[in-house]
């Protein structure tokens, strides 16, 4: 209320003084910040499994395991921090359960039940690029994922149709670095940035000045 009163007072003063150019500045800088709208609201207090896999074509990409592990960790951290999840299932428990399953092609609900989850946030890495030109010193990290949410009892709950939700691609600035281990740095940076992007789909946050939400491409 005080903020609104301050805006009205400033606009009135501007009108009196004839400073029309001040109005856009006041609206942009003094208006309440816009907030995002979650694409799906998880039921409160549930156990969520973040299940990260990759397109088979990426199986031999160096750094893939770093990306998968750090991506899951970043998403879990933010889901708990922002109270989207009551708790998350440890990745070690997931891996142990997958190793114990005789059927390696078990469905997502079955995997979720096995580890004690209520819901599964399934993340598939669709694109993972560290260098446009292999065997050079120029690193140009890019990554894209798709997601879906599965209730272990009811099945898919988001998106509601038989499809996946594509998340906007993450791209890092090009860096020239001759270190043979710099790919690991790129892998971690991509995972953290994409993890933040995925997690923010599920809770309310203040939009940046340009108002661009994290959504589909």
pLDDT digits (tens, 9 = 90+) for 159-190: 988 889 999 999 999 999 999 899 999 999 99
Distance CA 94, CA 140 (A): 31
pLDDT at 47: 98
pLDDT at 24: 55
Q: Whole domain around residue 18: which residue ranges? A: 1-32
Claim to verify: residue 109 and residue 76 sit in the same structural domain: yes
> Is a pLDDT exceeding 80 seen at residue 29?
no
Does some domain include residue 215?
no
pLDDT at 21: 57
Claim to verify: residue 89 and residue 114 sit in the same structural domain: yes
Claim to verify: residue 64 and residue 161 sit in the same structural domain: yes
Claim to verify: residue 20 and residue 86 sit in the same structural domain: no
> Is a pLDDT exceeding 90 seen at residue 139?
yes
Does some domain include residue 208?
no
Claim to verify: residue 4 and residue 96 sit in the same structural domain: no
Q: Please state whether the predicted TM-score (pTM) of the whole model is above 0.75.
A: yes
Closest CA to 123 of 177, 55, 46, 173: 55
Domains contained in the chain, number: 2
The 10 Å Cβ neighbour count of residue 146 is 18
> In this prediction, what percent of the chain has a pLDDT beyond 90?
71
């Amino acid at each position: 209320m005080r903020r609104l009163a301050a805006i009205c007072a400033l606009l009135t003063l501007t009108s009196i003084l004839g400073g029309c150019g001040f109005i856009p500045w006041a609206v942009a800088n003094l208006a309440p910040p816009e907030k995002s709208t979650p694409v799906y609201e998880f039921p409160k207090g549930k156990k969520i499994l973040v299940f990260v896999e990759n397109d088979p074509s990426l199986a031999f990409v160096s750094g893939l395991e770093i990306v998968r592990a750090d991506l899951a960790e970043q998403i879990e951290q933010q889901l708990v921090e922002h109270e989207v999840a009551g708790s998350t299932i440890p990745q070690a428990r997931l891996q142990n359960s997958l190793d114990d399953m005789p059927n390696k092609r078990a469905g997502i609900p079955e995997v979720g039940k096995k580890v004690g989850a209520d819901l599964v946030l399934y993340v598939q890495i669709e694109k993972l690029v560290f260098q446009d030109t292999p065997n050079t010193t120029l690193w140009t990290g890019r990554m894209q994922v798709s997601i879906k949410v599965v209730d272990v009892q009811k099945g898919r709950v988001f998106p509601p149709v038989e499809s996946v939700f594509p998340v906007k691609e993450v791209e890092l600035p090009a860096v020239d670095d001759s270190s043979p281990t710099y790919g690991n740095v790129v892998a971690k940076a991509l995972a953290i940035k994409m993890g933040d992007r995925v997690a923010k789909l599920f809770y309310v946050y203040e939009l940046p000045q340009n108002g661009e939400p994290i959504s589909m491409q």
